[in-house]
Homo-oligomer: A and B are copies of this chain.
């Protein structure tokens, strides 16, 4: 367990002993009687972005990281509440850009703005609470079984490498066009709403990879009392990530791919031999659960691959 989980377990789980909270172990709360899921996520200046980021892109990312939780629950986007605290300087220009981004993604994802709160603050603080509609069922479990296959959607590693490149982590070599692609993946994640819905009644658990593949997988392995086994050569990567892997220290890059956050792909498991790939596109089987605990990663030669840090914790 990392510090963030320890804080949640120590201080907040004891206050959340109700059916709706799902013990704070899922991406959203489930109000079953009302057929709703609700989730909330923040973005804070100097923690998730810096002052020079484009407000239009920030607005879209803020919506999308919240939509990613709706995707992970297998729900349908409905509406949201917005909290904005911003400095007074250039407020009209900043809000104009921000609202442009919001408007465009609200249309794209069919979302309604229900309300919010506005305040002054020396640093930018943003928060969305989002509601999704369900049809009696959602991904409310977070337990995997022995021998179940582990899957991810899309490609892994684009966003954490994009973040390094955006912040001019100068030693990274790659083609300029790939640099742009990776940064774009960091800035504009794609919430996997369709995949999340199609996995209903198939997946044992489903979560989004917001704080790194290994961290999310570690949670699930711990909660399920299982060992997760994954294989480097099965981790799906984009051409851009392959370019970075080729031109830089492979071990360092793999650590970033596996442990870095911000990918917002889905991580889920299905019982062994479920032919889920026949039903759903853009997903990859990356390993399986076995008896034991923790995570084992295997490289292309079948040797164990060790990483220093298993994902991102705020504390």
Contacts and interface: CB of A to CB of B under 8 A. Distances in A.
A99 B44 CA distance: 22
Interface of A: 4, 7-8, 11-12, 15-16, 18, 20-21, 24, 28-29, 31, 34, 36, 38-42, 44, 46-48, 79, 81-83, 85, 88, 91, 95-96, 98-99, 102-103, 106, 112-123, 125, 127, 129, 314-315
A81 B11 contact: no
Number of chain copies forming the complex: 2
A1 to B, nearest CB: 14
B127 A83 contact: yes
A114 B30 CA distance: 9
Contacts of A39: 81, 115
Contacts of A121: 44, 47, 123, 125
Given A85-B47, A103-B15, A315-B88, A28 B115 contact: yes
A179 to B, nearest CB: 28
B4 A125 contact: no
A114 B15 contact: no
Nearest to A28: B115
Contacts of A91: 7, 315
Nearest to A123: B123
6 contacts: A12-B113, A20-B79, A24-B116, A39-B115, A83-B127, A85-B125
Contacts of A24: 115-116
